[in-house]
Amino acid sequence: MPVRAASWSFTEDDFGAITRALEGFLTECNARCALLVDRTGQLVATVGERPSFDPTTFATLTAADFSANDQLAKLVGENDFSTLFHQGEKESMYLADVARRVILVVLFDTRTTLGLVRLKMRNMLTNAVTDKTFKAGDKFKEPDLEKVPASYLYSDSDGSYFLDQESFETLVLSQEKVGDALDMLLEGTIVQIEKFNGNPIGLELPMHVELTITYTEPAVRGDTSSGSVTKAARLETGAEIRVPLFVKEGEKIKITTETREFYGRV
């Protein structure tokens, strides 16, 4: 005996096969309910938990949703959007067009993993970079992170020392955490110290610093014509950068800390 849905029909065996396929799909994805709706808005099949809404009305609205979706696709130059996803706080829906004949609707609740998010993460204590995968709905406790202004004091074999400008506490960072930032630091330079759970874990340099050139070769006539427009210069911190030919030894210059590039004369 054929079962009719809108303008097409199938046998009871076909209907049974469709129902079993939907039930298997529902079990695999741990969804609450699945419905099969034809493109004219007729309900073909439903499996899983009994819907709390009127399935017939839902089927009509589903077909209308996909019809509007087709028009949106054409407006942006696509033939169609084959899937839709509506996410709420407690209930979510996934809708997929199947062969331009029927629409598969899957209803999820909070029991179901809706998707996975893969992130590349850096450990702020060790600087180690790892890949982590989380559920799309996962929530995390906000870490106790803060930045405080501090002035650079000095460095020794145990690390670098900074004076917290708010608490006047001395903060210590290891050589590993400071890295090459010392190339840009003079006594008294104000930086931002990053803290985790109240402990210093890193620093953020200001956008620009002012340093004096302790050595650079004088510009030689013909350097510009040979294609050389910069020259090496040693700074009072011991770092070396490239500067324009017109810059002279003893001048104070401004440097962009992120790129270690000459920004201008002071």
Predicted pLDDT of residue 20: 85
Q: How does strand 2-5 pair with strand 8-11?
A: antiparallel
Predicted pLDDT of residue 183: 96
Answer whether CATH 3.30.450.30 is correct for domain 2-108. Answer: yes
Predicted pLDDT of residue 228: 62
pTM over cut 0.75: no
Predicted pLDDT of residue 133: 62
Predicted pLDDT of residue 117: 54
Which residues of the chain are under the pLDDT cut of 50?
1-6
Predicted pLDDT of residue 210: 96
CA gap 162, 27 in Å, rounded: 59
Predicted pLDDT of residue 192: 96
Predicted pLDDT of residue 237: 96
| Residue of 183, 130, 137, 140 whose CA lies nearest to 160 | 183
pLDDT, tens digit, 9 for 90 and up, residues 91-138: 778 888 877 778 888 887 766 555 555 567 777 777 778 777 666 566
Q: Which residues are bridge partners to 94 per DSSP?
A: 85, 106
Q: Identical fold at 2-108 and 145-204?
A: no
**CATH of segment(s) 145-204:** 2.40.50.140
Domain definitions of the chain by residue range: 2-108, 145-204, 208-265
The residues near 154 (Cβ < 8 Å, ≥ 6 apart) are 160, 161, 187
According to DSSP H, which parts of 120-247 are helical? 175-178
CATH architecture of 208-265: Beta Barrel (2.40)
